[in-house]
Structure 1
């Protein structure tokens, strides 16, 4: 799906001002509300916009420990293990990968002991051969998409505006 200059401006506003009304977005962009709504509908339909927030902090929910757990799976059991991972609430993301392991999970925990309990639960899942865990010490680049949106916009010929920085998700 091609994202043009107007789409890029819309996406920038959605990222920088997520709690703004559609009417206010249209005013800020200088376009009709109907035009904006049609663009938003298309961006959602095409899978560019996949959600509307809120972004939650696992640490604020009492789970400040973040680890990446590589899971090696018995050949032919990837789907079953993937389905089982969905039943572990501390797994906030899981991906099939190439390289060292079959799955990469992002796991949150209350503390080191809780992390160990989660890993032990993973090891006991049918089809799991072994795990390898890497604990994150500090977030260096928070999840963000604004730089990507800006790069897409540059490629589409969108005019660049300075961002706020604080809400560049």
Structure 2
């Protein structure tokens, strides 16, 4: 793991907030000249601290306004079953996030869909492709109160 100093953390905060900021602007904000600033960004990329740059796309613009969270509880807890479930869920483009969790269920799935028909098809597809019987509980989001991809950098 890379050791991050205050300047690295400032760079990370700025890039998370403004992914398209120019190197010139970034350097000015953190108090470096362009070359050392660029080298720091490259070091953060090579070190796996910065894992990519992404455009945030409006779900409404693509007709994907339905946001659903699904809890999945598997009837078998073998490693082989978990591997198969993980593989199946990773292949589903509607699934934005999938987490193996501790607690009263096994997986928490976040899916972005075009409507209830797509949701019903997705849920049926998930349950059909699982290698063992499973239970599911779904939660349809009525209002998204907060969504952020930014990770606090500890400034």
* TM-score of the alignment, normalized to the shorter chain, above 0.5: yes
For residue 130 of structure 1, what is the aligned residue in structure 2? 135
Quote the offset at 1:119 in angstroms: 0.5
C-alpha distance in 1 between matches for 2:14 and 2:91:
35
What's the TM-score, normalizing by structure 1? Answer: 0.79
Structure 1 gaps, min length 5: 154-169
Per-residue Cα deviation, 1:86-137 (whole angstroms, up to 9, x for no partner): 2211111111111122111101111122211111111111325121111111
For residue 14 of structure 2, what is the aligned residue in structure 1? 13
Is 2:148 the partner of 1:143?
Answer: yes
Q: How does 1:25-36 map to 2 (within 5 A)?
A: 25-36=26-37
SS at match of 1:92: strand
For residue 86 of structure 1, what is the aligned residue in structure 2? 90
C-alpha distance in 2 between matches for 1:134 and 1:117:
15
The total of aligned residue pairs comes to 150
Is 2:112 the partner of 1:111?
Answer: no
C-alpha distance in 2 between matches for 1:30 and 1:6:
8
RMSD, aligned α-carbons: 1.8
Quote the offset at 1:18 in angstroms: 2.1
Structure 2 gaps, min length 5: none
For residue 43 of structure 2, what is the aligned residue in structure 1? 42
What's the TM-score, normalizing by structure 2? Answer: 0.86
Q: Contact 2:17–2:150 (CA<8 Å) still a contact in 1?
A: no
Q: Contact 1:69–1:132 (CA<8 Å) still a contact in 2?
A: yes
